[in-house]
């Protein structure tokens, strides 16, 4: 542990009240205080009313050039308020209110370095970022090499933290619950305990969400726990000369002033629905940078994809090749017939046979791009392109303009990118995908794609941080242990609990391409692995898991085994006017209601873990208190069970009003879906 950090911790017990500054939330419920230690160290604390939630916690940095952890002088402060409502291009709501109070603290370090910290306090949480301004009164540009960010969170009460280890490849792990209070000081080798984001369940029944916003040109944050505090651990550069076995300081970021870090934020709410409804992360990102984003359209899509995972098709050309012209035409005509807007094809381009060099503009000989382009136009069904890089981000980045021009010329305006490699190769050599170099690459992809009117579905990404507000062509991302694990994972597939954790953890960070909608659970090629769900659970995912590009992942012939159930997938939208978590518990179940954007239709989805549940759902959220609504319920049958009878379901139809309450049962590993239409 750094000596400076130890001094800060000791000094926090002797806060100088004369240096205290504070800013409250608009409703007065939360108060953030900026404080200085006797040695000029900097810290903050957060209270709800008279109760402290975050005790004084250190701020600052260690750099190779100067230690920015103490010896600061406050040179001034500014306070302001902001209240505005903005409209999303797509999202879980049409309109989002941004209402916060701001305090900016101007600091001068003894070295002459000038730094501001901008704090924003919302009714449901707090946020701050660091502004490096330069050296001296003239704010001379200064280069800094950051070796440690000292931002910490000393929560005053115990909490259960839902998280995954930061070294989890592609973030594709099972989120686990662990206690963060009172842990003893850990060895440096265990710094990867927590990956951002972290969802917190406090002892008093309140909730928290710890993450970052507007990650640009900076490494993604992670956390480790020591001395009862959650501390920031930035993703390091892998090949920096200083990052070797003999070095005591890892290089985390290279910056040049003026420079702004990403926002650090903590959502703090009394209830779980309030936590899910928080839009702090989006409000901390810049407004849309695309002058006319009208070309960006949410849509459902199918794909030549699941067949590869269940081993009935191959990515590479051969006797079982999936992405052939006839197979793609079959999918596209099926999509047209059933109101699905697009079809993805993986394995259409050369390079899959050896993974040494993917050619993103040359199809295999059994793929006729010109014919399929014309078919796409005539059917009105988009082609979703696929660009797998094999982790060679540098090669991909060097060709971005030619690749995207080729796709745009063929009418392809959505691309799924992929980086299947534990360590990606960037312009700076082998790096963590969420290190500073990887973050720069992903941003370059998004910005370049926008110029060609191409939307991105990014797989093997850096964790989302709300950049979709600024670049709404970044429509969805993976970064999750998704459906494909249920096709081939050696552990038999994700447990039922997994999908009941994600809405409160990973999906709070942004849209997720989980690929729901499996309708056929048996897989003779890998019989020991399967989806741990009922058919109705798979329908519920289309409402509970948010993505503006929502994939129905199974094969057309499997959907026709249950055409009445498939009708819900045909109808359910993926762009919303309003979204509400009606009920739920992390790791147990969730029930969401969402109103279709520009419509009076509502959709409800529910999913549960391995336990059956009976739930009551008041319909008081319906807009028109006097209207009657036609309701179609897709329900687990009484004897349904994910292990023994996953296909057992019933469809009920009834008329309801906002005064009614639905009483429903979810089977073990089950769920339900509902479509509610006014008449």
CA 151 to CA 119: how far, in whole Å? Answer: 13
Is 377 a member of any domain?
no
Active-site residue, 484 included: yes
Nearest-CA neighbor of 670 among 614, 631, 628, 620?
A: 614
Question: Over the stretch 419-442, which tens digit does the pLDDT of each residue have?
Answer: 999 999 999 999 999 999 999 999
Which residues face 223 on adjacent strands? 194, 232
Nearest-CA neighbor of 537 among 575, 492, 568, 580?
A: 568
Mean pLDDT check: name the lowest of 157-166, 246-255, 634-643: 246-255
> Is residue 305 scored above 70 in pLDDT?
yes
Q: Quick check: 32 and 136 in contact, CB under 8 A?
A: no
Q: Quick check: 162 and 198 in contact, CB under 8 A?
A: yes
Run of H or E residues at 7: helix 3-11
> Is residue 16 scored above 50 in pLDDT?
no
Which of 227, 250, 283 is the last residue in one of the domains? 283
List, edge to edge, every strand of the sheet that includes 576-585: 576-585, 589-596, 602-608, 671-678, 629-636, 649-656
Is 497 a member of any domain?
yes
pLDDT value, residue 316: 98
Nearest-CA neighbor of 229 among 289, 264, 182, 280?
A: 182
648 or 17, higher pLDDT: 648
Those residues with Cβ within 8 angstroms of residue 137's Cβ, 6 or more apart along the chain or in another chain: none
Rounded to an integer, the average pLDDT of 79-89 is: 98
pLDDT value, residue 523: 87
> Is residue 65 scored above 50 in pLDDT?
yes
Rounded to an integer, the average pLDDT of 127-143 is: 90
CA 265 to CA 182: how far, in whole Å? Answer: 22
* CATH code, domain carrying 608: 3.20.20.70
Question: Over the stretch 534-582, which tens digit does the pLDDT of each residue have?
Answer: 999 999 999 999 999 999 999 999 999 999 999 999 999 999 999 999 9
Confidence tier at 402 by pLDDT (50, 70, 90): very high
> Is residue 391 scored above 80 in pLDDT?
yes
Which of 283, 306, 334 is the last residue in one of the domains? 283
pLDDT value, residue 4: 53
Confidence tier at 507 by pLDDT (50, 70, 90): very high
CA distances from 463 to 145, 354, 405, 480 (A): 23, 29, 27, 9
> Is residue 14 scored above 80 in pLDDT?
no
pLDDT value, residue 19: 43
Is 418 a member of any domain?
no
pLDDT value, residue 12: 42
Is 256 a member of any domain?
yes
Nearest-CA neighbor of 513 among 555, 472, 473, 541?
A: 541
List, edge to edge, every strand of the sheet that includes 51-58: 21-24, 30-36, 42-48, 51-58, 152-155, 229-234, 221-226, 194-195
Run of H or E residues at 593: strand 589-596
pLDDT value, residue 249: 84
Q: Quick check: 293 and 472 in contact, CB under 8 A?
A: yes
CA 516 to CA 386: how far, in whole Å? Answer: 19
CA distances from 166 to 172, 301, 392 (A): 11, 31, 21
pLDDT value, residue 227: 81
pLDDT value, residue 638: 97
> Is residue 9 scored above 90 in pLDDT?
no
Is 79 a member of any domain?
yes
Rounded to an integer, the average pLDDT of 25-40 is: 96
Question: Over the stretch 613-628, which tens digit does the pLDDT of each residue have?
Answer: 999 999 999 988 889 9
Is 15 a member of any domain?
yes
Rounded to an integer, the average pLDDT of 391-402 is: 98
CA 56 to CA 20: how far, in whole Å? Answer: 11
User: Which among 484, 577, 596, 675 is annotated as catalytic?
Assistant: 484
CA 140 to CA 641: how far, in whole Å? Answer: 67
Is 341 a member of any domain?
no
Distance between terminal CA atoms of the chain?
Answer: 65
Confidence tier at 394 by pLDDT (50, 70, 90): very high
> Is residue 6 scored above 50 in pLDDT?
no
Where in the sequence is the domain holding 579, given as residue range(s)?
A: 483-509+525-545+573-679
Confidence tier at 379 by pLDDT (50, 70, 90): very high
CA 215 to CA 221: how far, in whole Å? Answer: 9
Is 632 a member of any domain?
yes
Strand blocks (E) in 432-548: 455-458, 474-477
* The two three-digit tokens of residue 431, written as one number: 């790096």
Which residues face 415 on adjacent strands? 385, 456
pLDDT value, residue 247: 55
* The two three-digit tokens of residue 273, written as one number: 């629905």
> Is residue 243 scored above 60 in pLDDT?
no
Task: Compute the mean pLDDT over every residue in the chain, rounded to the nearest whole number.
Answer: 94
pLDDT value, residue 20: 64
Confidence tier at 524 by pLDDT (50, 70, 90): confident
**Residues belonging to the chain:** 679
pLDDT value, residue 189: 38
> Is residue 458 scored above 60 in pLDDT?
yes
Question: Over the stretch 161-209, which tens digit does the pLDDT of each residue have?
Answer: 999 999 999 999 999 999 887 433 344 434 557 899 999 999 999 999 9
Q: How many domains does the chain have?
A: 2
* CATH code, domain carrying 253: 2.70.98.10
CA 4 to CA 59: how far, in whole Å? Answer: 11
Q: Quick check: 77 and 105 in contact, CB under 8 A?
A: yes
Do the strands 549-551 and 299-304 form a parallel or antiparallel pair, or are they unpaired?
Answer: parallel
Percent of the chain with pLDDT over 90: 90
Which of 283, 305, 336 is the last residue in one of the domains? 283
């Amino acid at each position: 542990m750094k000596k400076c950090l130890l001094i800060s911790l000791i000094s926090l017990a002797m806060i100088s009240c004369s240096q205290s500054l504070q800013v409250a939330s608009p409703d007065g419920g939360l108060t953030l205080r900026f404080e200085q230690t006797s040695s000029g160290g900097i810290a903050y604390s957060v209270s709800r009313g008279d109760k402290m939630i975050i005790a004084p916690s250190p701020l600052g940095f260690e750099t190779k050039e100067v230690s920015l952890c103490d010896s600061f002088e406050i040179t001034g402060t500014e306070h302001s308020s902001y209240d505005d409502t903005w409209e999303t291009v797509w999202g879980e709501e049409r309109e989002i209110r941004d209402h916060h109070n701001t305090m900016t603290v101007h600091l001068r370090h003894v070295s002459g370095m000038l730094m501001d910290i901008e704090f924003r306090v919302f009714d449901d949480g707090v946020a701050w970022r660091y502004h490096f301004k330069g050296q001296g009164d003239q704010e001379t540009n200064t280069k800094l090499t950051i070796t440690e960010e000292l931002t910490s969170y000393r929560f005053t009460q115990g909490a259960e933290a839902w998280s995954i280890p930061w070294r989890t490849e592609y973030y594709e792990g099972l989120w686990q619950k662990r206690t963060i209070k009172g842990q003893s000081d850990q060895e440096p080798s265990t710094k990867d305990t927590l990956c951002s984001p972290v969802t917190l369940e406090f002892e008093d029944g309140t909730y928290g969400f710890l993450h970052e916003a507007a990650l640009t040109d900076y490494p993604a944050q992670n956390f480790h726990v020591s001395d009862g505090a959650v501390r920031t651990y930035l993703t390091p550069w892998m090949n920096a000369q200083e990052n070797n076995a003999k070095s005591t300081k890892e290089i985390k970021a290279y910056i040049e002033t003026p420079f702004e870090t990403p926002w650090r934020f903590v959502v703090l709410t009394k209830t779980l629905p309030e936590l899910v409804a928080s839009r702090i992360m989006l409000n901390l990102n810049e407004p849309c940078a695309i002058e006319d984003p009208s070309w960006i359209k949410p849509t459902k899509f199918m794909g030549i994809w699941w067949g590869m995972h269940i081993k009935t098709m191959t990515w590479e050309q051969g006797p079982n090749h999936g992405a052939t012209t006839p197979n793609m035409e079959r999918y596209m005509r099926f999509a047209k017939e059933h109101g699905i807007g697009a079809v993805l094809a993986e394995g259409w381009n050369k390079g899959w046979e050896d993974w040494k060099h993917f050619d993103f503009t040359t199809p295999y000989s059994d793929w006729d791009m010109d014919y399929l382009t014309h078919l796409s136009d005539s059917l009105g069904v988009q082609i979703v392109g696929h660009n797998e890089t094999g982790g060679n981000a540098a090669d991909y980045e060097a060709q971005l303009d030619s690749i995207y021009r080729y796709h745009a010329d063929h009418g392809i305006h959505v691309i799924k990118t992929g980086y299947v490699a534990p360590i990606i190769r960037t312009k700076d050599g082998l790096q963590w995908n969420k290190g500073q170099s990887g973050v720069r690459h992903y941003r370059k992809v998004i910005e370049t794609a926008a110029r060609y009117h191409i939307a991105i579905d990014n797989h093997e990404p850096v964790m989302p941080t709300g950049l979709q507000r600024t670049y709404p062509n970044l429509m969805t991302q993976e970064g999750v242990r998704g459906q494909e694990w249920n096709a081939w994972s050696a552990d038999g597939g994700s447990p039922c609990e997994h999908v009941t954790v994600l809405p409160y953890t990973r999906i709070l960070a942004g849209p997720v391409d989980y690929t729901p909608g499996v309708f056929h659970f048996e897989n003779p090629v890998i019989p020991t692995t399967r989806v741990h769900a009922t058919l109705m659970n798979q329908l519920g995912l289309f409402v509970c898991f948010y993505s503006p590009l929502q994939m129905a992942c199974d094969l057309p012939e499997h959907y026709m085994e249950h055409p009445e159930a498939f009708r819900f997938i045909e109808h359910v939208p993926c762009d919303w006017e309003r979204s509400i978590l009606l009920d739920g518990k992390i790791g147990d179940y969730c029930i969401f209601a969402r109103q279709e954007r520009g419509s009076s239709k509502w959709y409800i989805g529910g999913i549960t873990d391995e336990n059956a549940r009976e739930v009551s759902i008041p319909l008081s959220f319906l807009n028109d208190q006097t209207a009657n609504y036609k309701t179609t319920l897709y329900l687990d049958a009484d004897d349904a069970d994910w292990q023994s009878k996953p296909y057992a379901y019933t469809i009920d139809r009834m008329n309801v009003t906002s005064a009614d309450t639905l009483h429903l049962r979810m089977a073990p590993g089950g769920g339900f879906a509902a479509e509610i239409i006014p008449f």
